[in-house]
């Protein structure tokens, strides 16, 4: 994570720098530009052979550099999000359009029959409702243009600030708006075409005739015993749900999908918190990691232990290396640790602390997958620094981690393979917080120290970097899910009011109060929402599983973690959208003109 307060790069003229170190004409870094279309691999082989006697540690193609690797993984995740998220949203939107239009058409049976009786063809009926869908969708498309343009600009600014691109121009081409429009229209039409087709094939005589009334019969068995405990309005609500099972189920499924989208969005914060807890807190128990200019004797740890505020010191070593298994290879690192270390652990995400054996390699599952290896297989290691030895070691254990693709070996074994004395390159320190300032002053005065990495600072920077980005995405998806839930519930209640306006007005005339008639209409919606809550939690878990699996890269993996509070918050927002939509429908119900509704339709 970038941290401008603790990391910087200083530039100065080459001649002045060379004179300061008495190295006139010397260099330690070469950058090459290849001809267009040239393959870097043959050039790297010749360059390595040429510079080996001068201490060259191996050339690296741009695609394998850490900065480029990090960026490419991020772009891969953006591509994944651009594929999965719109697919989920468009599928939900198509389902909702189908549900709303199906109920709308059911209220217009008579009008459809009249149109067909006056000579309108099936094609004209289909075109009529397709135009209706397109008009409805067009409002969302125009709104989506504006929101998408603003959201895209905000995202571009975030990436420009995070990666410090020298030039990053935000420009949305006309083709993007056209493509978004066509895909949205296609999703809406595909979602409603089956309903429109059924409306067009409805015979005029059948369409102009009101639907057959439901068959009423006395409840028996446990159903009858249960209903005797209910009051009359509640029995009316239950009968209407039972007599329209498909419609009721579709409404509950639609609400469940809106809850699922919300859980999928909020799950990211839970996953990130879990990742930090496992990787930074449980797996790394040191307070500081001190990097040395070059490997030092393991006796250097005694010096660190005597520094002010240091409670414990442990050493480790990290070597750049090419790991090969057959035709597959990976340019990464081999870390040397000791099995009795208590500060820098080889930590499996399941909670197991793995002790590195004396002879063998402990490999992450992601690296094993890339190299197609398993326990017992041999890995050929080509070290890219020092004497650049090559050696083969067996894989003795696999473990799961969320970040990177590490490989660990016993520190003493690594030093012996390097033909060197016991050495360390990093010192992991456990310190007394009350003496931090004194310790930092001592470390600044030690010439062999090249870097000091503070764990808590890394955690804070991690959250600062992600907080702004994650809050924007989570807020957007939360608003979208709330709008979905509100739209489903409001349209369901509003169409029910259109369908049952005459029945509700009749009940008012027969003596029921406004509160009782509102209860009959809104309790049905509320009960369907209650049924949708557990289904929404299941849908949210499944959507989150799809998203986290799609975001798996070599750089890091997102764990599928959903806290109980996330489910609770999603349920509360669903209930809030229910209350808001119910308030709007209740207002329309109170303003119902009973005389107009009760008039016989000619």
291-332 confidence digits (pLDDT tens): 999 888 888 899 999 999 999 999 999 998 989 998 898 888
Rounded CA-CA distance 579/522 in Å is: 10
Q: Which residues make Cβ contacts (< 8 Å) with residue 460, sequence separation at least 6? A: none
pLDDT for 207 equals 65
**249 and 117 in a common domain:** no
Write a three-state SS string for 517-531: HHHHHHHHHHHHHHH
Is residue 54 domain-resident?
Answer: no
Is residue 53 domain-resident?
Answer: no
Is the distance from CB of 373 to CB of 383 less than 8 angstroms?
no
**392 and 488 in a common domain:** no
pLDDT for 336 equals 93
**117 and 139 in a common domain:** yes
Is residue 143 domain-resident?
Answer: yes
Is the distance from CB of 276 to CB of 552 less than 8 angstroms?
no
Q: Phi, psi (5° rounding) for residue 448? A: -80, -10
Rounded CA-CA distance 579/485 in Å is: 11
Query: In the numeric block, which tokens belong to residue 356?
Result: 């590195």
Which of the given ranges, 53-67, 85-99, 237-251, 557-571, has the highest pLDDT on average? 557-571
456-476 confidence digits (pLDDT tens): 988 888 887 776 677 777 777
The answer to whether the Cα torsion of 35, 37, 38, 41 is positive or negative is positive
Is residue 1 domain-resident?
Answer: no
**82 and 102 in a common domain:** yes
Asked which of 211, 237, 264 is the last residue of a domain, the reply is: 211
pLDDT for 537 equals 93
The answer to whether the Cα torsion of 58, 64, 67, 68 is positive or negative is positive
The DSSP secondary-structure symbol of 483 reads: H
**178 and 94 in a common domain:** yes
The DSSP secondary-structure symbol of 262 reads: H
Helix (H, G, I), strand (E, B) or coil at 5: coil
191-227 confidence digits (pLDDT tens): 888 877 877 777 776 666 666 665 656 655 555 555 5
516-569 confidence digits (pLDDT tens): 777 877 888 888 888 889 999 999 999 888 888 877 777 778 889 999 999 998
Buried b (16+ CB within 10 A) or exposed e, 49-78: eeeeeeebebbeeeeeeeeebeeeeeebbe
428-464 confidence digits (pLDDT tens): 999 998 999 999 999 998 989 998 999 998 888 888 7
Q: What is the DSSP string of 279-305?
A: IIIISB--SEEEEEEEEEETTHHHHHH
Is the distance from CB of 27 to CB of 21 less than 8 angstroms?
no
pLDDT band (50, 70, 90) for residue 593 = low
**488 and 344 in a common domain:** no
**440 and 337 in a common domain:** yes
The total number of structural domains in the chain stands at: 4
pLDDT for 408 equals 95
Rounded CA-CA distance 68/78 in Å is: 15
Asked which of 440, 458, 476 is the last residue of a domain, the reply is: 458
Displacement of CA 454 from its chain's centroid (Å): 28
pLDDT for 371 equals 94
**315 and 205 in a common domain:** no
Asked which of 400, 434, 458 is the last residue of a domain, the reply is: 458
Average pLDDT on 124-143 reads: 87
Is residue 102 domain-resident?
Answer: yes
Strand partners, 410: 337
Rounded CA-CA distance 600/602 in Å is: 6
Is residue 544 domain-resident?
Answer: yes
pLDDT band (50, 70, 90) for residue 397 = very high
pLDDT for 127 equals 86
**262 and 171 in a common domain:** no
**387 and 331 in a common domain:** yes
CA atoms within 13 A on the CB side of 217: 5
Q: Which residues make Cβ contacts (< 8 Å) with residue 550, sequence separation at least 6? A: 80, 81, 83, 84
Is residue 365 domain-resident?
Answer: yes
Is the distance from CB of 372 to CB of 310 less than 8 angstroms?
no
pLDDT at 77 over 60: yes
Helix (H, G, I), strand (E, B) or coil at 174: helix
**448 and 306 in a common domain:** yes
Average pLDDT on 260-273 reads: 86
Helix (H, G, I), strand (E, B) or coil at 322: strand
The answer to whether the Cα torsion of 161, 162, 165, 166 is positive or negative is positive
Radius of gyration of the chain (CA): 33
Which residue is listed with tokens 């119900």? 589
Of 568, 574, 474, 523, nearest to 256 (Cα)?
574
pLDDT for 325 equals 92
Is the distance from CB of 524 to CB of 240 less than 8 angstroms?
yes
Question: Which residue segment(s) compose the domain that 40 sits in?
Answer: 14-44
**364 and 326 in a common domain:** yes
pLDDT for 602 equals 46
Is residue 5 domain-resident?
Answer: no
Is the distance from CB of 386 to CB of 423 less than 8 angstroms?
no
pLDDT for 594 equals 62
């Amino acid at each position: 994570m970038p941290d401008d307060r603790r990391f910087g790069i200083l530039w100065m003229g080459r001649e002045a720098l060379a004179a300061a170190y008495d190295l006139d004409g010397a260099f330690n870094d070469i950058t090459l530009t290849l001809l267009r279309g040239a393959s870097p691999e043959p050039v790297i082989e010749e360059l390595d052979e040429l510079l080996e006697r001068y201490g060259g540690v191996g050339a690296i193609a741009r695609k394998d550099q850490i900065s480029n690797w990090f960026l490419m993984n991020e772009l891969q995740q953006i591509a994944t999000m651009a594929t999965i998220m719109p697919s989920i949203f468009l599928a939900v939107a198509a389902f909702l359009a189908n549900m709303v239009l199906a109920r709308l058409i059911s209220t217009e049976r008579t009008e459809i029959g009249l149109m067909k009786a006056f000579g309108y063809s099936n094609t004209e009926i289909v075109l009529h409702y397709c135009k209706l869908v397109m008009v409805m969708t067009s409002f969302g498309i125009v709104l989506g243009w504006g929101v998408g343009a603003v959201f895209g600009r905000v995202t571009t600014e975030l990436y420009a600030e995070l990666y410090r691109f020298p030039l990053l121009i935000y420009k949305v081409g006309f083709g993007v708006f056209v493509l978004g429009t066509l895909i949205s229209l296609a999703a809406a039409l595909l979602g409603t075409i089956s309903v429109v087709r059924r409306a067009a094939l409805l015979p005029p005589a059948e369409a102009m005739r009101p639907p057959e009334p439901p068959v009423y019969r006395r409840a028996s068995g446990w159903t009858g015993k249960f209903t005797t405990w209910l009051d009359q309005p509640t029995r009316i609500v239950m009968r209407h749900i039972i007599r329209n099972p498909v419609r009721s189920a579709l409404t509950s499924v639609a609400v469940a999908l809106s809850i699922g989208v919300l859980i999928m969005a909020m799950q990211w914060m839970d996953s990130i918190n879990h990742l930090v807890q496992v990787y930074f807190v449980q797996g790394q128990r040191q307070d500081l990691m001190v990097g040395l200019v070059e490997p030092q004797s393991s006796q250097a740890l005694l010096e660190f232990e005597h520094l002010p505020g240091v409670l414990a010191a442990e050493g480790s070593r990290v070597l750049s290396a090419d790991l090969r298994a057959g035709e597959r290879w990976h340019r990464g690192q081999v870390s040397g640790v000791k099995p009795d270390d208590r500060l820098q652990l080889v930590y499996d995400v399941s909670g197991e602390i793995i002790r590195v054996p004396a002879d063998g390699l402990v490999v992450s599952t992601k690296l094993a997958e890339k190299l197609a290896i398993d326990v017992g297989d041999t890995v050929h290691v080509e070290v890219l620094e020092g004497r650049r030895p090559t050696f083969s070691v067996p894989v003795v254990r696999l473990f799961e981690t969320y970040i990177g693709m590490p490989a660990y070996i016993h520190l003493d074994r690594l030093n012996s393979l390097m033909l060197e004395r016991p050495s360390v390159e990093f010192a992991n320190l456990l310190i007394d917080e009350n003496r931090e300032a004194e310790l930092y002053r001592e470390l600044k005065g030690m010439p062999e120290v090249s870097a000091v990495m503070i764990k808590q600072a890394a955690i804070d920077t991690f959250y600062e970097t992600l907080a702004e980005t994650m809050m924007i995405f989570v807020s957007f998806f939360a608003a979208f899910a709330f709008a979905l839930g509100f739209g489903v519930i409001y349209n369901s209640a509003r169409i029910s009011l259109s369908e049952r306006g005459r029945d509700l007005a009749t009940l008012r005339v027969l003596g029921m109060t406004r509160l009782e008639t509102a209860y009959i209409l809104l309790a049905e919606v509320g009960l369907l929402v209650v049924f949708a809550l557990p289904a929404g939690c299941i849908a949210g878990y499944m959507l989150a599983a799809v998203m986290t699996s799609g975001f798996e890269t070599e750089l890091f993996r997102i764990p599928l973690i959903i806290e109980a509070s996330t489910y609770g918050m999603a349920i509360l927002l669903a209930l809030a959208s229910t209350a808001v939509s119910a308030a709007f429908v209740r207002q329309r119900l109170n303003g119902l003109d009973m005389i107009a509704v009760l008039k016989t339709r000619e």
